[in-house]
Structure 1
Amino acid sequence: MSISDLYYNSEHSKEIGHFANIVKIAKADGEISDGEKDLLIKMGKKLNISLEEFTIILNNPEKFPINPPVSYDERIERLYRLTKMVLANGDVHLKEQKLFEKIAVGLHFPNDRAEKVCAEAIELVIKNVDLDEFIPAIKKVDKA
């Protein structure tokens, strides 16, 4: 399967781009922990990523653009999943944090608020807030 074959439809291409971002964060500190591996498998299934796509993306996530959804709530949902990966191994490394902020900007969170939005996202996930609580909390921080 070639990389262009992964872009069969636009919705799936968004899922692939999102999964690639999750992989980038998992690999940011140089290795993928067992917790990150488990989360990648779970997220891959949730995003309908085939085993072949999973392998291609895992080996070269940089080849895939962010490709954010139009819906603001869907972008926040992606931020939620990315935050889960940032915290999958229990702590936040500086490289992961910086990449997380860069991806947040790519998801169309304003550059001047990305750091604050990401910090709040991390705090919310640490507090085990579910997605229904996460979305309005991020909107509040993003609009502040």
Structure 2
Amino acid sequence: MSISDLYSSGKHKQEIGHFASIVKIAKVDGIISEGEQELLDRASKKLNISEEEYTLILKSPEKFPVNSPVSYDERIERLYLLTKMIFADEEVAKEEVGILRKIALALNFSDKNVEKVCDEAIHLILNDNDLDDFTIAIKNVNLN
């Protein structure tokens, strides 16, 4: 097995863990809405999740750990996608925010700043900020 094979399988494990995190947020209220389903379908394609993996993850997302990327920008992008999932059904449940904070911790955001970072993430998505603006704002909040 070459180094590139190891890297790609490690990268795919991160993508599976990330997709499972998105599914956890979608399933928190027991129902996957049409908007959530659309976001799950788009995310699965972007993350190269096979149909078999999709089915397994949808059935038991808790079986797949969060594998945080090393890159700070990639971690912020994951937070962005997770926060978008919270708003996919146009409702924000307290449980979804709790899961978002736990996943943010797993993405290596500081426990000291995780509440502030997640609150800002929610505010940014609520105001339709794109990924670039989201990244800048999260970096600013996470510094303080």
Q: TM-score, normalised by structure 2?
A: 0.93
Match of 2:5 in 1: none
Match of 2:17 in 1: 17
Structure 2, unaligned runs of 5 or more: 1-7
Correspondence 1:135 to 2:135: yes
Match of 1:86 in 2: 86
Correspondence 1:29 to 2:64: no
Write the letter of the residue equivalent to 1:27.
K
Aligned counterparts of 1:29 and 1:22: Cα–Cα separation in 2: 13
Report how far residue 30 of structure 1 moved: 1.6
Match of 2:119 in 1: 119
Match of 1:75 in 2: 75
Match of 2:3 in 1: none
- Deviation per residue, 1:74-113 (Å, 9 max, x gap): 0000000000101111121011010100100000011121
Write the letter of the residue equivalent to 2:137.
A
Match of 1:3 in 2: none
Aligned counterparts of 1:77 and 1:15: Cα–Cα separation in 2: 12
Report how far residue 29 of structure 1 moved: 1.4
- Deviation per residue, 1:29-58 (Å, 9 max, x gap): 121111101110011011111111100100
Aligned counterparts of 2:35 and 2:84: Cα–Cα separation in 1: 10
Match of 1:63 in 2: 63
Aligned counterparts of 1:98 and 1:29: Cα–Cα separation in 2: 13
Match of 1:4 in 2: none
Write the letter of the residue equivalent to 1:45.
K
Report how far residue 65 of structure 1 moved: 0.5
Report how far residue 60 of structure 1 moved: 0.6
Q: Which runs of 4+ in 1 moved over 3 A?
A: none
Aligned length: 137
RMSD: 0.9
